[in-house]
Amino acid sequence: QGQLVESGGGLVQAGDSLRLSCAASGRALSSYTVGWFRQAPGKEREFVSAVSRNGADTAYAHSVKDRFTISRDNAKNTVYLQTDSLKPEDTAVYYCAAHPYYSGTLLQGYNIWGQGTQVTVSS
């Protein structure tokens, strides 16, 4: 059975950038919409961004719009989340999720999840 694997997290300072990757194994990611979510300690998991299967349509949470950019390389079976101008409040575990058709903001809409990658932003 295929799975999603996130990578690229780390400890950075405020204002720095990270590129998160979501790689798929055992399935063609091009057949799925992909979303990024994050969960900070003591908080609920929240929507960050999503991209359509062909990459033409994207969506962002208001808190990350103009700082984060989602993209995909279907040839590499990978979706990316470029995070720029990071703030301490961006500190969280970042998860990618996939679904054959759903590309909205609800966690319940996605049926395939990765294990997450930690992003920590110091002030």
CB contact set of 6 (below 8 Å; sequence gap of 6+): 20, 21, 22, 94, 95, 96, 114, 115, 116, 117
CB-hemisphere CA count at 13 Å for 69?
Answer: 10
Look at residue 4 in the predicted model and tell me its pLDDT: 95
pLDDT given at position 37: 98
Q: Phi-psi region for residue 82, left (φ > 0), alpha (ψ -120 to 50) or beta?
A: beta
Q: What pLDDT sits at residue 25?
A: 86
Amino acid identity of residue 65, one-letter, is: K
What pLDDT, on a 0 to 100 scale, did the predictor assign at position 10? 98
Assess contact for 60 and 51: CB atoms under 8 A.
Answer: no
Output the tens digit of pLDDT for each of the chain's 123 residues.
Answer: 568 999 999 999 999 999 999 999 888 999 999 999 999 999 999 999 999 999 999 999 999 999 999 999 999 999 999 999 999 999 999 999 999 988 889 999 999 999 999 999 999
* pLDDT confidence of residue 26: 86
Kindly state the greatest CA–CA separation across the chain. Answer: 41
Q: What's the confidence (pLDDT) of residue 2?
A: 64
